[in-house]
Amino acid sequence: MWLEGLFDNIFGVRWNPMYCLGGLGFFYFWIVAVSGFYVYAFFDTGLTEAYDSVEQLTRDQWYLGGVMRSLHRYASDALVIMMVLHMIREFAFDHYRGPRFFSWITGVPMTWLVIAAGITGYWLVWDQLAQYIAIGSAEWLDWLPIFGEPIARNFMQHTSLDDRFFTLLIFLHIAVPLILLLVMWIHLQRVAYARWKPSRGLSVGTFAMLTVLSLVFPAVSHSPADLDRVPQVLNLDWYFLFVFPLIDEWGAATLWVVSFGLTFALMALPWLPPRRKLAAAVVDLDNCNGCTRCANDCPFGAIMMMPRTDGLPFDRQAVVDENVCVSCGICVGACPTAMPFRRRSDLIPGIDLPGLTAATLRDKIHAASAKMSGDGRVLVIGCDHGINSKKLTAENRVVIGLPCAAMLPPSYIDYVLSKGLADGVAVAGCRSGECQYRLGPEWSEDRFEGRRDPHLRKRVPRERLSRLWMAPTEWLHARHALDEFQAGLKAATTPAGLSDLVDEASANVRAPHPNTDEVQS
Partner 1 sequence: MKPSNSATFNAPVRYGLQVCVYAGFALLIGYFSQAPAYLPIAEGAAQIKFSFAHGGKPKGGCRDRTTAELDALAANMRKAQLCSRERVPVVVSFDLDGKTVFADSLPPSGLRGDGPSHMYEKFNVPAGRHDVSLRLRNSIRAEGWDYHTQATIELKPGQILAIDFDPGNGGFVLSSSSSGG
Q: Rule CB under 8 A: which residues touch partner 1? A: 5, 7-13, 15, 73-74, 77-78, 81, 132, 139, 142, 148-150, 152-153, 156-157, 205-206, 208-210, 212-213, 217, 219, 226-239, 244-245, 248, 431-432, 445, 466-471, 474, 477-478, 481, 485
Distance CA 103, CA 100 (A): 6
Alpha carbon separation from 218 to 58, 62, 70, 72, 145 (Å, rounded): 8, 8, 6, 11, 40
Nearer to partner 1, 240 or 341 (CB): 240
On the CB side of 32, CA atoms within 13 Å amount to 24
Nearer to partner 1, 171 or 217 (CB): 217
Contact 18, 433 (CB under 8 A): yes
> How many CB atoms are closer than 10 A to CB 229?
10
Pairing of the two strands 397-402 and 378-383: parallel
Nearer to partner 1, 101 or 469 (CB): 469
Give least dist CB 92 to partner 1, A: 19
- Give Cα 136 to chain centroid, integer Å: 36
Distance CA 376, CA 237 (A): 61
228: left (phi over 0), alpha (psi -120 to 50) or beta: alpha
Give least dist CB 48 to partner 1, A: 16
User: Which run of H or E residues covers position 71?
Assistant: helix 67-92
Across the strands, what pairs with 465?
Answer: 425
Spell out a b/e string for 481-509, using b for 16 or more CB atoms within 10 Å of the CB, else e: bbeebbeebbebbeeeeeeebeeebeeeb
Distance CA 266, CA 253 (A): 20
Give least dist CB 309 to partner 1, A: 42
Alpha carbon separation from 256 to 89, 137, 144, 153, 261 (Å, rounded): 26, 12, 9, 20, 8
Q: What is the dihedral of CA 160, 165, 169, 172, to 10 degrees?
A: -100
Give least dist CB 229 to partner 1, A: 5
Give least dist CB 245 to partner 1, A: 6
Give least dist CB 516 to partner 1, A: 30
Nearer to partner 1, 5 or 382 (CB): 5
CB within 8 Å of 378: residues ≥ 6 apart? 372, 396, 397, 398, 422, 423, 424, 425, 426, 466, 482, 485, 486, 489
Nearer to partner 1, 139 or 297 (CB): 139
> How many CB atoms are closer than 10 A to CB 258?
13
Nearer to partner 1, 358 or 470 (CB): 470
Give least dist CB 55 to partner 1, A: 17
Distance CA 521, CA 504 (A): 11
Give least dist CB 263 to partner 1, A: 23
Cis peptide before 218 (omega within 30 of 0): no
Nearer to partner 1, 484 or 500 (CB): 484
Give least dist CB 382 to partner 1, A: 15
Nearer to partner 1, 109 or 488 (CB): 488
Nearer to partner 1, 6 or 519 (CB): 6
Give least dist CB 250 to partner 1, A: 14
Give least dist CB 149 to partner 1, A: 5
CB within 8 Å of 515: residues ≥ 6 apart? 286, 287, 288, 289, 337, 350
Nearer to partner 1, 206 or 357 (CB): 206
Extended beta strands in 340-423, E state: 351-352, 378-383, 397-402
Nearer to partner 1, 96 or 240 (CB): 240
Angle at which helix 49-60 crosses helix 21-42, to 10 degrees, equals: 110
